[in-house]
Structure formats: structure tokens, C-alpha cells
Amino acid sequence: MTENTDMIPPDGRVDAIDTDYQIGQDNIKMNIGPFGLDIHNRVFLISGLSVVAFVILTLAFQTSLGPMFTNLRNWLTGNLDWFFLISGNIFVLVCLFLIVSPMGKVRIGGTDATPDYTYMGWFSMLFAAGMGIGLMFYGVSEPMSHFSSSLGGIATEGGVRTDWAPLGAAEGDAAAAQRLGMAATIYHWGLHPWAIYAVLALALALFSFNKGLPLTVRSIFYPLLGERVWGWPGHVIDILAVFSTLFGLATSLGIGASQASAGLNYLFGVPMGATTEVLLVIGISAIALVSVVAGLDAGVKRLSEINMSLAVLLLLFVILVGPTMAILTGFVGNLWGYIQNIPALSMPFGREDDNFRQGWTAFYWAWWISWSPFVGMFIARVSRGRTVREFMISVLLIPSAACVLWMTAFGGTAISQYVNEGYEAVANSGLELQLFAMLDVLPLAQITSFIAIVLVIVFFVTSSDSGSLVIDTITAGGKVNAPTPQRVFWATFEGLVAIALILGGGLAALQAMAVSTGAPFTIVLLLCCVSLFKGLASEPRG
């Protein structure tokens, strides 16, 4: 087999790369094994056996692993914070460039391709799979955390914050503290995370739908590696993608279980703790299995649309019965505050606020990056027929604006309750309870809290089944419709990994594994940007 590192021919048609593609298929061909499994042996076996071993060892030594996970998380975020911040900035710049570049005219799937889904269906799947659990968990708790820190003046010089915010907040200045707290929150939910998703999603869609390569992460690197993508370099890339996705999902599932447990305790007095969270993971994973077996259109799409409708209803309720004018004016003010502060917030060096940079931002970027194979492949599968410009605007700018509105409504309402009504429970409750504390003083609290629990659970289900479909695609060498037993295997072990980490260290363990898999995959994403430009350069525009 000859080495071929040339770029895909300029016309970008599948028949022009048929020889290379066939070579690739010969090397990653499917293998029908016991129980009807159809797998890409090396990736599936290494990934599957490693995950099984991790679950067994973590459950066997759970009492001694907690400190190790905490130390691992602290070391990674403390030493690699600059790397995560610089990488996040690069991804944003790449996406903004593609919006204004002539490359924005390239159409995913070819010049004659048409969209497979309506905008409503597309956005529903995007939000349900992308950030649903995180928005529910952090929608109140993160704005309140940053507001409280700003109100006290984290790093002060004569009573004025000097760490990152050019606006400055005198200690005890509630209005300035709210501006700073909301700007810091939006920074973590705005352009940067969606740029991370968009880069990988566009690359996967381009090389699958336009170049005719398998829908798997290794295909992105064909312009850089040539035929080697079908050998061990490609195997390593796909295995990293599997680990990254699995542990990123486990973090989200653990957070979702924590919040659902808190909500059930608030409404029905169900005991909180690891036992309840484990039972929730088991029950919800069982529901996810049903959706996984049903497939993308019948399962994930339907649940996503239901959840999207419930989320919009809850958002509108908070806006209408909460401090409506403050929310509406705050949306513009918070967006402007975010724009003003983003250069200082994204600065990787020369800042004094280690907790914000390492404890919040570095973890978030690693978490989003660990999610990127899952969300990126999921977005890629449902984005055929969109132009690159349409794709980037939709995936980058519109969801960012929606996150600003969500955080403004939920976080702004909670801060208003604390500042204007003296309601201290919303600030003093645990992170997982703050959403329910905020809803408690609004009308129909029992109903809205129940809806919030349902939202968390269904976001949990859609994340699990979407992730299972994506991991299954990667471990099947890019085959989209692999046999059902494989999807069941990955859905089951997603839940088992989450359970193992909950018992082996709780939130610290979940965060540690998300960061440890996100760090190496950041390098993969940076190289992905180079390959993406090479791929787009060979595509017809218009």
C-alpha cells in the first residue's frame, strides 16, 4: 500500500477519492462477530475493555480514589489553564472568520444538497444534546456565585476589584457586582463553548457529506495524514474521541442526577445523597435505552422537541412572573457587559483571579472540549444541506444569544430576589438546590419545580442516548446504523461510568475525568482547524 498524503482532489467528489476511500474501508472494515455485533475491532475492543476495567477498578477502590481525583483535577486546571484559554480563543476566531470568509458559501453535502430537518427540529436537537443539563444546573447557581464574589470584591485595591473586570465593582456595590457576575457567566456559555462544538461539527460534516469519508473523527485528518488515518494514528484519534465523549457525558449525567435528587428532596422529601443519585442514574439510563433502540428520528428527535417546548415554557414563565422589565433590559445590558469584558476574561496570563480562571474557566473549556466529539458528531449528522455561513451563524451566534437570555432570566431573577427582597435562601442553598430556591418564591412553585425536574431528567435521557449513538458510530468505524446491541452496550456503560465516579469521589471525580480527557483532545481540535481549512479550500462555493 503506497503512502498518499496529498489533498483530496479539488473537485471534492467522492469518485475522485474512491481509491483512497476503498483502501481506508479495507483497513477499517466491519467485522460481524458474536451476538450480531458489527465493529471496528481495534477501536471498539480497546475502548470497550478500557471502560469496563475503569468501572471495575473505580468501584473496587472507591473509598481511596476520591482524593486522587481531586488532586488530578486541581493539577490539570492549575497547570494547563493557559492552554485551555488560548485554545478556546483560537476556536472562536476560526468560527468568526468562516462566517465572513468566501468559504462560508460552501454547502454541506454539495451544491445541490437540501436540509434534512426544519430549523425548529434542528435547534431542538442542538439544545437538548448540547447544554441542556448544564443550563438547568448552572442557570441560577453560576450567576449567584459570581455575583456573590463580585459583591465581596474578590481581589481588591482600596475596595475596588482589580482582577479582570474593567468596569470595576466597589465592595458591596450590588449593581456593578451583578454586571460583572452576569458577564462572567455569559463568557462560559457564549461564543467559546459553541465555537468548540462548531469547529468539530463542521469538519465532521464536511469530510463525511462532501468528501465521502466515514462519519468518524479520524476522517477529518485525511488532508494531514493521508492513508495513515486508516492505521494506528487514526485508531488513536478515535479512541481519544470515545474516552473524551464518555467521560464528558458522565460528568453531565452526574450533575443531572445531583440536581434531580435535590429537586425530588425539595418536592417529595426523597433523601439526597449518593444512593439516590445512583438509583436515578440507573432508572434514567433504562429510559435512555428505550430511546436508543428507537433511533435518531423516533427517539432523540421526539424527546428533544418535547424538552425544547418545556424549556421555552419555563423560560417564558420566569420572564413573565419574575422581574420582567429587569430581565428584558438586563438582556441587552448583560450582552453589552459580556462584549466589554470578553477581552479581559479570555486573557490567559497576567490575571490575579486564579479561582475564576482555573476553578471555573479551565474546567468549563475542558468539559466542553470533552463533549465536542459527541455534540459535534450529533450536530454534523443533522446539518446536511446548510451552507458553512448558515451553519456557523446558527450553531455559534443564535445559541449564544439564547444562553444569554436563559442566564439573564434565571440568574437575574435570583439576584433580584436576593438584592431587592432580601431572600437569602437563593444564595445560601447548595448549587444543585438554587434553581428550586429561586422558583420557590414565584407563583405555582410546586408545578414549575416539577417541570424543572422533568426537564433535567429528559435532558439526561437525550444526552445519554445521543452520546450512545455517537460513540457507537465512532467504534463502528463511522457506520451510522450499527446493530442495536452495540448502542445498548455504550448506553449501559455511560451510566455505569457515571455511577462509578459518583461513588468514587462525587463531583470532583466527574470533573477530574472530564478535564483529563479534554486536555489531549484539545490538541486534536487544534489540528482539526488546520485540516478543516484544507478541506474547505477544495470545495466549490455557491
| Cα-to-chain-centroid distance, residue 489 | 22
Highest-scoring range by mean pLDDT, 21-25, 251-255, 328-332, 505-509: 328-332
Enter the CATH code of domain 42-536: 1.20.1740
Mean of per-residue pLDDT scores for the chain: 82
Distance (Å, whole) CA 454 – CA 136:
11
According to the model, what pLDDT value does residue 140 have?
A: 94
With a cut of 60, say whether residue 285 has pLDDT above it.
yes
Q: Residue 158 — φ and ψ, nearest 5°? A: 70, 30
According to the model, what pLDDT value does residue 330 have?
A: 93
Q: Which residues contact 536 (CB under 8 A, 6 or more apart)?
A: 98, 103, 106, 206, 388
According to the model, what pLDDT value does residue 208 have?
A: 92
Beta-carbon neighbour count of residue 516 at 10 Å? 19
According to the model, what pLDDT value does residue 476 have?
A: 80
E strands, 284-377, where? none
Place 5 in a pLDDT band, splitting at 50, 70 and 90: very low
| Per-position b or e across 5-21, b if 16+ CB within 10 A of its CB | eeebeeebeeebbeebb
With a cut of 80, say whether residue 154 has pLDDT above it.
no
Q: For 389-434, what is each residue's pLDDT tens digit?
A: 999 998 888 888 889 999 999 999 999 999 888 888 888 888 889 9
User: Grid coordinates in use for 260?
Assistant: 434531580
According to the model, what pLDDT value does residue 428 have?
A: 87
With a cut of 60, say whether residue 10 has pLDDT above it.
no
**Domain ranges, ordered by start, for the chain:** 42-536
H-run or E-run covering 459: helix 445-475
Q: For residues 299 and 487, is the Cβ–Cβ distance under 8 A? A: no
Q: For 51-101, what is each residue's pLDDT tens digit?
A: 999 889 888 887 777 788 888 888 888 899 999 999 999 999 999 999 999
Contacts of 15-24 with C-beta under 8 Å, sequence gap 24+, read 17/211, 17/212, 17/213, 18/212, 20/222, 20/226, 20/227, 21/212, 21/213, 23/227, 23/230, 24/213, 24/214, 24/227, 24/229, 24/230
What's the whole-number mean pLDDT along residues 455-482? 79
Top pLDDT among 13 and 509 is at 509
Q: For 303-335, what is each residue's pLDDT tens digit?
A: 767 777 888 899 999 999 999 999 999 999 999
Q: Which residue bears the cell 464528558?
A: 248
According to the model, what pLDDT value does residue 50 have?
A: 92
Distance (Å, whole) CA 77 – CA 264:
33
According to the model, what pLDDT value does residue 38 have?
A: 58
According to the model, what pLDDT value does residue 461 have?
A: 80
> Any idea which of 131-135, 427-431, 438-442 has the lowest mean pLDDT?
131-135
Q: Please list the residues that pair with 160 across neighbouring strands.
A: 170
User: Grid coordinates in use for 35?
Assistant: 451476538
In terms of phi and psi (left: phi > 0; alpha: psi -120 to 50; beta: otherwise), the region of 269 is: left
Q: For 214-258, what is each residue's pLDDT tens digit?
A: 889 999 999 999 989 989 999 999 999 999 988 888 888 888 888
According to the model, what pLDDT value does residue 28 have?
A: 47
Top pLDDT among 207 and 154 is at 207
DSSP 160: B
Cα-based distances in Å from 175 to 28, 49, 153: 59, 53, 13
> Any idea which of 156-170, 214-228, 280-294, 414-428 has the lowest mean pLDDT?
156-170
Beta-carbon neighbour count of residue 481 at 10 Å? 13
